[in-house]
Structure 1
Amino acid sequence: MTTSTPSSPFSRQPLYAFAMLALMLVLAALDQTILSTALPAIAHDLPGGTPLAWVFSAYLLAATVVVALYGRLADVWGRKPMLLLAIGLFLLGSLACGASQSRAQLVMARALQGAGGGGLLTLTMLTVASLFPQAQRPRFQSLLGASYGIATMFGPLLGGWLVEHLSWHWAFWINAPLALLAWGVLARTLPLPVRQAAPIDWWGAAALAVALVAALLATQHGKLQLPAALTLGMLLLIAAKAAIAFVWRQLRAAHPLVPPRLFGHPAYVAAATIGLCSGVAMYAAVVFVPQYLQTMLHLSPTASAWHLLPLMAGITFAAIASGKLLRAQVPARRLAGVGSGLLALSFAALSMVLAWAPDSAVLLSACLLPAGVGLGLLFPIVTVVSQRAAPPQLMGIATATPVMLRSLGGSAGVALMAALLAQRMTDELAGLAGHGAPDAVRTAMAHGLQAVFVCAGAAALLAGVASRWLMAREAN
């Protein structure tokens, strides 16, 4: 191969391609967080009665729904055309977002942008397998994980800077020149696709899409002002029926969207479970800690974002370390166990701080460092193990499924934990009626978040149990 000899004039092409993959993953990650500080300016500038929550939810819905389909299409039609399509949709969506003149236009543009961004979250990791031999993949997968952590860390800060010095439109327009650069470099440097003669299970894809949309709408039911007919119970019923139809279809289709034989491998089941649990844990940290800092300790959104720095720094540096350790033949089972243990430790520490020092933003921030290290160790493991456990012709869908489960686990987990928090606060305030109102609310929220962090810690422990199954792969 021309890329195997360092002295070859073409040996740098995989590195150029990887740099563009990391760039696109950073842009996709930024657009999940950059609006947190830009949203007040958007609310002021754009007319319309559409709830602002749809600006986030439209991207999340579209990105989650397309993940599995991108993975399967990459297996059948090739990774290069699907990656270029995802970049193109993300670019068009970004331009449309920046040019939006109403909230309804912005929501539709965000859905288009999410349809591209969801592909980027999967296809960047998948394309690494086309560029580098298996022994080098952990290193580059870990660098992608570090890039994601850095982007998530600086998204709110960049959004605030753009709004202050330019306008909220630039939170989207900044993507355009970078996406064009990435598209051109990847179109030139990626290898030609290898197509399979296999049909796509469109019925299965439709059933999965309905199940995911209904489930995600259920998690956001209280924020989106949905039509009265779409009650929470109705959405959950639709999600359950569509999920059953999807499983039934996968068990009987000649070419299923998500082949059931993938889950016959214990290591793959472990990776998928760890992906699901890590999504619950990560979103619990990035949603509820800033919420407490802003509502109870009265920090600004930008200040609360800075307090997430230990979490994101931990993810960044631990992801790089995880790749090096995997290349050094450290067992994935051991790394996953350590990562899960650190996650559980972090949530235990957060619960203790809320019990003993609920006014200390610094202590709460410091408790996020073990969670960041734990997540950073787990992210590359999920990708590497998923790809190793799958046959080459199914590597796309094998990579995509844990990503989809991570997003779904985060969304559903946050919704359930938010309901638990609300219920605990209601019960707590009923018993604290004689106390001062501000102190009572703060105490109630601190106690409610303790229950939330216990649930997140339980998800981390479940990931630790699942890591034991990784032995099956390492024995092969």
Structure 2
Amino acid sequence: MPTPSSPRPAAFGMLVLMLVLAALDQTILSTAAPVMARELPGHWPIAWVFSAYLLAATVVITPYGRLADLWGRKPVLLLAIGLFVLGSLACGAATDLRQIVLARALQGTGGGGLMTLSLLAVADLYPPEQQGPRKALLGATYGVATMFGPLAGGTLVQGLSWHWAFWINVPLAALAAAVLARTLPAPKAPAPAARGTVDLLGALLLALALVALLLATQQARLGLPAWATAGLLAALGVKCALGFLWRQRRARHPLLPLSLFARPAYAAAATIALATGVALYAAVAFVPQYLQAGLQLSPTASAWHLAPLMAGLTLAAVASGRLLRAQWATATLARLASAAMLLAFALMGAAVRWWPDAPLALSVALLPLGAGLGLAFPVVTAVAQRSAPAQHLGVAMAVPVMLRSLGGAFGVALLAALLAHDVAAQLPQLPGPQAWRGAYAHGLQQVFGGGMAAALLAWLASRWLPARRAVAAAG
């Protein structure tokens, strides 16, 4: 056990702090984004402040894991913090929507490493028998910070400005970097099996595929050259995606070992991770905009209406962990999670259709969504850890995080395009000063329909999870 003078408590405290900042940055803009959309000039979709961060984080997650194997966790974690700080400064200094989207991508290249590397760094501080409770504490901290993200964003916007949603990261991250540089153990030489190179070609193909497909979803709104049609961008994205898969089959040290997906339980957990990313951001990215722009609520008031989502997520995640330790079957928990998400999106669709002027109805409907997400997150982590071979454990744990970010990024982009199309079609049919609110409420029904499809996908995937008790599956 560490003594009072041991550097472990200080180092662990800074890991918690970085995880808090990473969690806050995923939800703090849910209440700040509508204000940014009103204040910043430009035609880029405001939903891309979520997509750009999540896409960048998605691309770098597995390279970070590989670099940690080669260089050690300490220098790679410090690199991620440095990029996160630079991105935060650039976001706070942005003067139009294009700049904020690009700055969020830079911030995402750092933020993508914070979650995975913070968990990995625990192994440098504590022996295996002491790591479990501390990783559980990190997970609980992540959930609590996520819960307070919208409220923090609303408070900063009303009390200061949206710039402080980014600038607040700078002194805190700098403090964490300084303490971790002094207290984390020096990196050890990598094991012979871990030596090699990073698959840069694979990372490049993945980045090109994601960017091209994202641009294809909003080609008409971005003022791209005439030759850059949506069809061409989509074809380029698909070609790069196929090239990425081809590269992963042949690379000596692939970013994403495809053999993992030959295991049904792991493939199911990965699919559920993707679906939960869509479900989470279908609510976080669009509900606050409706509450603020449609119902004229303040950023802080709209943040409080998201509280049931975050409270349900946190409480259900704690309950899910306990149920897994009590040997509940992962398939059972995943089905319960999927059913709760499906119910939530059905209730949200009914709320905006039948009670469009009652934000409380929409707020109450967010509670089962949070509960479903909270039940699902620990299940995905547990199944990924138990079903992966030892030599791929690090990347196996990173892939669900990557896929959740990917689901959020493309879910937001596609649902934003669907929403914009539906609002444009409905506006001419709705007379009066409240036409935009009515059109947006109608479009939200399509968004929530997409959320229901994601929940149904998670339910179908749960059929391939172990139906026996969790401890038995672990053995």
**TM-score, with structure 1 as normaliser:** 0.85
Q: Which moved more, 1:198-207 or 1:442-451?
A: 442-451
Query: In structure 2, do the counterparts of structure 1 residues 384 and 219 end up closer, same or farther at CA, with 3 Å as the change threshold?
Result: farther
Counterpart in the other structure of 2:146 = 152
2:216 to 205, 215, 218: 218
Contact 2:348 2:362 survives alignment (8 Å):
yes
* Native 8 Å contact 1:65 1:213 kept in 2: no
Matched residue, 2:409:
411
SS in structure 1 of the partner of residue 252 of structure 2: coil
Partner of residue 256 from structure 2, selected from 258, 282, 285:
258
- Structure-2 residue corresponding to 1:471: 466
Q: Is 2:21 aligned against 1:27?
A: yes
Distance 1:135 1:327, change over 3 A: farther
Stretch moving more, 448-457 or 10-19 = 10-19
- Whether the aligned pair in 1 keeps the contact of 2:154 and 2:299 (CA below 8 Å) is no
1:450 equivalent in structure 2: 445
Give the Cα separation in 1 of the matches to 2:325 and 2:122: 15
Give the one of 295, 299, 302 matched to 2:300: 302
Q: 2:457 maps to which residue?
A: 462
Deviation for aligned residue 1:315: 1.2
Give the drift of 1:304: 1.7
Q: Which string of whole-angstrom CA distances, capped at 9 and with x for unpartnered residues, describes residues 371-399 of structure 1?
A: 10111121222223223322333223212
Task: Specify which of 286, 289, 303 is matched with residue 287 of structure 2.
Answer: 289
Give the letter aligned to residue 347 of structure 1: F
Q: Is the 8 A contact 1:58 1:110 kept in 2?
A: yes
| Aligned-pair CA distance for 1:425 | 4.7
Contact 1:145 1:316 in 2 (8 A): no
1:352 aligns with 2:346: no
* Alignment-mate amino acid for residue 305 of structure 2: H
- Give the letter aligned to residue 94 of structure 1: S
| C-alpha distance after superposition, 1:13-55 (max 9, x if no partner) | 6554443223112212333444455568878998x86858476
Q: Give 1:258 shift.
A: 0.9
Q: Does 1:59 align with 2:57?
A: no
**Match for residue 362 of structure 1?**
360
Q: Which residue of 2 aligns with 1:3?
A: none
- Taking the aligned partners of 1:419 and 1:99, their CA distance within structure 2 comes to 27
Structure 2 counterpart SS, 1:250? helix
Give the Cα separation in 2 of the matches to 1:161 and 1:39.
13
In 1, the alpha carbon distance for the partners of 2:67 and 2:221 equals: 33
Is 2:187 the counterpart of 1:192? yes
Among candidates 207, 210, 217, match of residue 205 of structure 2:
207
CA shift in 2, pair 1:368/1:43, >3 Å: closer
2:55–2:409 Cα contact (<8 Å) kept: no
Give the deviation of 1:100 after TM superposition.
6.0
Counterpart of 1:178? Answer: 172
Structure 1 residue 471: deviation in Å?
0.6
**Contact 1:138 1:380 (8 Å CA) reproduced:** no
1:123 to 111, 117, 127: 117
What is the percentage of aligned positions where both structures have the same residue? Answer: 60
Cα displacement (A) at 1:283: 1.0
Alignment of 1:78 onto 2:83: no
Tell me which residue corresponds to 1:247.
245
C-alpha spacing 1:329/1:180, structure 2 compared with 1 (3 Å): farther
Q: Which runs of 5+ in 2 are unaligned?
A: none
Distance across 1 between alignment mates of 2:10 and 2:334 = 31
Determine the C-alpha separation between the residues in 1 that align with 2:260 and 2:252. 15
1:398–1:113: structure 2 CA closer, same or farther, 3 Å change rule?
A: same
Q: Secondary structure at the match of 2:261?
A: helix
Render the CA deviation track for 1:66-112: whole Å, top value 9, x for unaligned. 12221232344333332221112212333454466787766654443
Provide closer, same or farther for how the CA distance between residues 222 and 133 of structure 1 changes in structure 2, counting only shifts above 3 A.
Answer: farther
Q: For the residues of structure 2 that align with 1:397 and 1:90, how far apart are their CA atoms?
A: 21
RMSD of aligned alpha carbons: 3.4
The verdict on how the C-alpha distance between 1:45 and 1:412 changes in structure 2, with shifts beyond 3 A counting, is: closer
- State TM-score, norm by structure 2: 0.85
Report Cα offsets for 1:139-182 as digits up to 9, x if no partner.
Answer: 55554344334333433443444455455554333223322332
**Aligned residues, how many?**
466
Alignment of 1:272-351 (within 5 A): 272-351=270-349
* Structure 1 letter corresponding to 2:84: F
Question: Does the CA-based 8 Å contact 2:82-2:110 persist in structure 1?
Answer: yes
Which deviates more from structure 2 when the two are superposed, residues 389-398 or residues 187-196? Answer: 187-196
Q: 1:143 to 1:358 in 2, by over 3 A?
A: farther
Deviation at 1:243, TM superposition (A): 0.4
Letter paired with 1:20: M
Structure 1 unmatched ranges of 5 or more? 1-5
Name whichever of 343-352 and 296-305 sits farther off.
Answer: 296-305
How far residue 447 of structure 1 moved from its aligned partner, in angstroms, is 4.1
